[in-house]
Structure 1
Amino acid sequence: MATPTVKNVVRSKRSVLAAAACALCLLVAPAATAQAQPGIDSASDAQTRLSDLARESEQTTEALHNAQIDLDAKTAVQREADAAVEAHRSALAVAESALAELKPAVDKVANVNYQGGRTNRLFAVMVSDSPQQLLDQMSALDIISAETSRQVGQFKQATSDAVAAEEASRSAADEARTAADQAKMVSDDLQAKQSELQGQTAEVMAAFSALSGAERSDYAGSPLPPGFDLSKIIAGLVPGSGSGALQAGLTQIGKPYVWGATGPDGFDCSGLVVWAYKQVGKTLPRSSQAQAAGGTPVDQKSLQPGDVVLFYPDASHVGLYAGNGNVLHASTFGVPVKVQSMASFPFYGARRY
């Protein structure tokens, strides 16, 4: 085999480098093409992804509010059950004390009868030496008989009270344990939802941060639909059950969506409704599902400004009817409080408070 010259070695190395460069181009080119191709819809895709994540977090937020309502109710039941246990225990102690006081007298009567003691009128006639003595003995026997009857009656009642108090105490203790177990289950569920929400909000924040300023502005949209004159709407509101709440809510347009917030610096969807109605002296439930269960049902065709309108099959989004098919709501993260067409969401139902 001939020994390679320096020129041949250089030429060989150049060929290898050239081949490697070609191969690298082939590897990089498809990747560059793959990245560039979706670039046409990248903003739309990013906004859709953000919208999906935000929607999931909203569902969890409302479920969280619902779980808190459930926990509050279960905790109240537990407190009532615990109080009932104490009350029944006190009643049992009183009944047992009454039994202890009456038992010696009843035992004495029982012993007298057992030992052959005679406390009847016939015995008084037989042992009396005079009419006056007979009357005195019969009177004494009447008093003894009445007192004995009273004591026996009290003893029977105290015994019955003690048995009833003991049964009630045992039943109340069972109910208290059940209430505590139920409260614990709801509390665990609440904590799980809180952890789930924390993870979801982190994803939402990351997706939002990935948007450019223009994309964020496009995502937020307009605070009012075309042709919606806010001043005329407020001035033209006819007094009604919810018009005052709507008027209050309209003053919050532009405030940010904040998970779990009830204002005044930010709101989630049910938080805005709670805040708006609070301004007119009405207290509404904290979750959208609970709001969907209260008030009076209203048909979509009969909606009035300020009615509570709910969306999605699980009633997980809520707002206030703003007239002309529009809804005032805290929409989602990255979108401030706004007025928007109801056609944007699947209608669930409406309630009037």
Structure 2
Amino acid sequence: MASHRLKSSLRGVAAIGVLTACLATVTAPSSLADPAAHGPVPAVEPGTPSDAITQILQLSRQAEQTTEALHKAQDDLNARLAQQRDAQAKQASEHKLVEDAEAKVDRYRPTADLVATANYEGARINRLYALLISNSPQQLLDQMSALDQVTSDTKNQLDQYTGAVKLASDAEARAQSAADAARTAAGQVQAQRATLQAKQSDLQTQIDHIRDLYASMTGGERATLAGSLFPPGWTPAKIVPSSGVPFAALQVALTRIGDPYVWGATGPNQFDCSGLVQWAFKQVGISVPRTSEEQAQYGTPVALDDLQPGDIITFYSDASHVGIYVGDGMILHASTFGVPVKVQSMAAFPIHNARRF
């Protein structure tokens, strides 16, 4: 009903261009669309203990890629939900402005209708008309003064009416734009949530297979998979003391050596790779992104020949693994399923980049 009244009021008023606004379509990150660059490892029974270890490492690597991609997808979904809430709030606000503007139009509508009716019926309200109907000079002066005031008041009210119609038109256009944006955001949230749920289901299937494979391994095979907590001949005493937040975060992270790797875990007693980095820096007052991909873009770049203990190193082309540099070419990281938090040579992985938080 309000929109109908507005459209009626817009007759004779210049049309106002409608503002358009929509949220950009988000595509899933490449690592989410393709969690393993070389395809999934076939779920076949390993023939030897060595085959079992190799297969579980490969499967765990794929699951890690999927996990990090899911973290990013969840962050994207949270951001999209916030945009949806903002769009809905804006829609409600603009709708209120439309109602207020249309109330103002209604306030001045009677004057506009009277003028329109008078013009239609050929009425003439001017000084000549006052002269023709006056019986004396004083009456003429009084009528001309009154007509001047009527004309001034009418013009002011017509100006107010025209302005109110323009404001209402603009408000309705913004409200329509906000409504479109809210619908777009809701559709994108629904699509992203469906994608996320499908990937979570795929990941759970991967994890279930890995755990079944791990359960079938002997104690010796599990020990071989876990390896040692430190490289041969290396101890934490070899770390060169330093100052600053990164080194403090490293010292905190060193206290978690031996804790288990768990997909999606952020501590305090179990971690995935990016969860360990995030947790360690949080303990020293620094908030860093959740995913290894985002951590690869956080802070400032560091050249590999300028690494210092506490710097962050990400690995693989998609930055799907991350660790904390401890010196001597070593990193501290939550490695993979079946392998505890440990110190290991960073040469074991293809380096993506290094950052300093």
Q: Where on the TM-score scale, by shorter chain, does this alignment land: which range?
A: 0.7 to 0.9
Question: How many angstroms does 1:241 deviate by?
Answer: 4.4
Counterpart amino acid of 2:253?
G
Amino acid at match of 2:272: D
Question: What's the CA shift for 1:304?
Answer: 2.2
Superposition deviation, residue 229 in structure 1: 2.9
**1:29 maps to what in 2?**
none
Note the C-alpha offset of 1:288.
Answer: 1.1
Distance 1:151 1:217, change over 3 A: same
Residue 110, structure 1, aligned to residue 116, structure 2: yes
Q: Is 2:53 the partner of 1:47?
A: yes
TM-score in terms of structure 2 length: 0.82
2-structure distance, mates of 1:127, 1:301: 101
- 1:223: which partner in 2? 229
| 2:299 corresponds to | 295
Q: Deviations over 1:89-121 (max 9, x none)?
A: 111111222112211121112223333333323
Describe the superposition over 1:243-271 as per-residue Cα deviations: whole angstroms up to 9, x where unpaired: 22212111111111011110002001111
Q: Aligned to 1:264, which of 251, 262, 268?
A: 268
Distance 1:188-1:53 versus aligned 2 partners, 3 A rule: same
1:346 counterpart letter in structure 2 = P
1:123 aligns with 2:129: yes
Which runs of no fewer than 5 residues in structure 1 stay unpaired? Answer: 1-37
1:65, distance to aligned residue in structure 2 (A): 0.5
SS across alignment from 1:139: helix
Q: CA deviation at 1:303?
A: 2.1
1:232, distance to aligned residue in structure 2 (A): 5.4
1:91 aligns with 2:91: no
Q: Whole-Å Cα distance in 2 between the matches of residues 241 and 131 of structure 1?
A: 93
Query: Equivalents in 1 of 2:127, 2:325: separation in Å?
Result: 88
- Take 2:192 and 2:50, find their aligned partners in 1: how far apart are those partners? 39
- SS of the equivalent of 1:285 reads coil
1:284 aligns with 2:288: yes
Question: Using the alignment, how far apart are the partners of 1:119 and 1:232 within structure 2?
Answer: 101
* Partner Cα separation in structure 2 for residue 227 and residue 119 of structure 1: 107
Distance 1:138 1:303 in 2: 91
Match 2:148 to one of 142, 154, 163? 142
Structure 1 residues 133 and 296: alpha-carbon distance in aligned structure 2, compared to 1, 3 A threshold: farther
Residues 106-142 of structure 1: CA deviation (Å, up to 9, x unaligned): 1112223333333323433444445543443333223
Q: Which moved more, 1:66-75 or 1:100-109?
A: 100-109
Q: Once the two structures are superposed, what CA deviation does each residue of 1:177-215 show, in whole Å capped at 9, x if it has no partner?
A: 211111111111110111111111111111212222122
Q: Secondary structure at the match of 1:293?
A: coil
Q: Matched residue pairs, number? A: 312
Task: Summarize the alignment of residues 69-84 of structure 1 with structure 2, pairs less than 5 Å apart.
Answer: 69-84=75-90
- The aligned runs of 1:1-353 (5 Å cut-off) are 42-231=48-237, 233=239, 236-353=240-357
Structure with greater proportional helix content: 1
Q: Separation in 2 of the partners of 1:105 and 1:114?
A: 14
TM-score (norm 1): 0.83
Aligned-partner Cα distance in 1 for 2:328–2:237:
15
Asked if the contact 1:261/1:271 (under 8 Å) is kept, the reply is yes
Separation (CA, whole Å) in 1 of partners of 2:258 and 2:206 = 24
Contact 2:322 2:333 (C-alpha < 8 Å) held by counterparts: yes
Q: Aligned pair in 2 of structure 1 residues 311, 141: CA closer, same or farther (>3 Å)?
A: same
Query: Residues 127 and 147 of structure 2 are in contact (CA less than 8 Å); yes or no, is this contact kept in structure 1?
Result: yes
Q: Percent identity of the aligned residues?
A: 54
Residue aligned with 2:221, SS: helix
Could you say if the C-alpha distance between residues 116 and 60 of structure 1 is closer, same or farther in structure 2, counting changes exceeding 3 Å? Answer: same
Measured after TM superposition, the shift of residue 295 of structure 1 is 2.2
> Structure 1 pair 116/338, CA: closer, same or farther in 2 (3 Å)?
same
Letter paired with 1:230 = P
Q: CA RMSD in A?
A: 1.9
- Higher Cα radius of gyration: 1
Please give the alpha-carbon distance, in whole angstroms, between the structure 1 residues aligned to 2:186 and 2:295. 26
SS state at 1:242 partner: helix
Aligned partners of 2:68 and 2:292 also within 8 Å: yes
